[in-house]
Amino acid sequence: MPNHTRKALVVLSGGQDSTTCLYWALREFGAANVEAVTFDYGQRHRVELDAARKVAAMAGVRQTVLPIDTFAAIGGNALTDDAIAPEAGARADDDSALPNTFVPGRNLVFLSFAAAFAYTRGIEHVVTGVAQTDYSGYPDCRENTLKALELALRLGMDSRVTLHTPLMFMSKAETVHLAQQVGAMEALAWSHTCYNGEVPPCGHCASCELRAKGFDEAGVIDPLLLRSQGA
């Protein structure tokens, strides 16, 4: 049985994974006990922020947008630097190099700010959509990183904050099935994943290919594509 006496803060980017996690949190904690935080970190594609606002409104949760402009000032990655184009296509399983869409320290900073934000509101549960099984192998999406960060946050803030990662060991197809179970499919029609910031999605960047592969393997039509095609 879900425990509706607890409160949760969901890190909501407006993407497929965070949208699914938001609806997971609604099921686990109860709608009245969930709110969302979105980070404006100077991302090139502002459509992400629009998607996050739309998803939060559809879910009926309070959303706060926090500005963090340091990543844009640092640059050096395809998500904040206009001079760098996102890599096209999914990477090979044996490719150990990090893609140029990796923003060093992003999840560490996001979750630290989220935990601090939650602390001021008496919220002990922070939910994030990171997944170790994701194609990129981003080091700040791995379970050992999140466990270490959780411990550091607890010690550094003398708190009982818990980082929840519902998608950690799920394939993209499994996350699609979870989205169905928690009632997130309608909201996914308004989520944004494309690294090129295109609406309808470009279909050929690594993120688009990964999303398409997940829906295909799940045997489900992506609601975003249906909306984009006017179906």
CA atoms of 99 and 2, how far apart (whole Å): 38
**Residue 136 labeled ligand binder:** no
**Residue 122 labeled ligand binder:** no
What would the two tokens of residue 42 be?
A: 């100077």
Specify the length of the chain in residues.
231
**Residue 22 labeled ligand binder:** yes
Strands (DSSP E) contained in the chain are: 8-11, 34-40, 62-67, 125-127, 162-164
Helix orientation angle between 16-29 and 172-182, rounded to the nearest 10 degrees: 40
What would the two tokens of residue 183 be?
A: 């009632």
**Residue 13 labeled ligand binder:** yes
Q: CB–CB of 201/167 below 8 Å?
A: no
- Return the closest-CA partner of residue 62 out of 40, 33, 28, 41: 33
Q: CB–CB of 28/165 below 8 Å?
A: no
**Residue 141 labeled ligand binder:** no
**Residue 12 labeled ligand binder:** yes
Three-state DSSP class for residue 70: helix
CA atoms of 138 and 143, how far apart (whole Å): 11
**Residue 101 labeled ligand binder:** no
Report the largest interatomic distance among the alpha carbons of the chain, rounded to a whole angstrom: 51
Q: Residues forming the annotated binding site for Zn(2+)? A: 194, 202, 205, 208
Q: Residues forming the annotated binding site? A: 12-22, 194, 202, 205, 208
Q: Residues forming the annotated binding site for ATP? A: 12-22
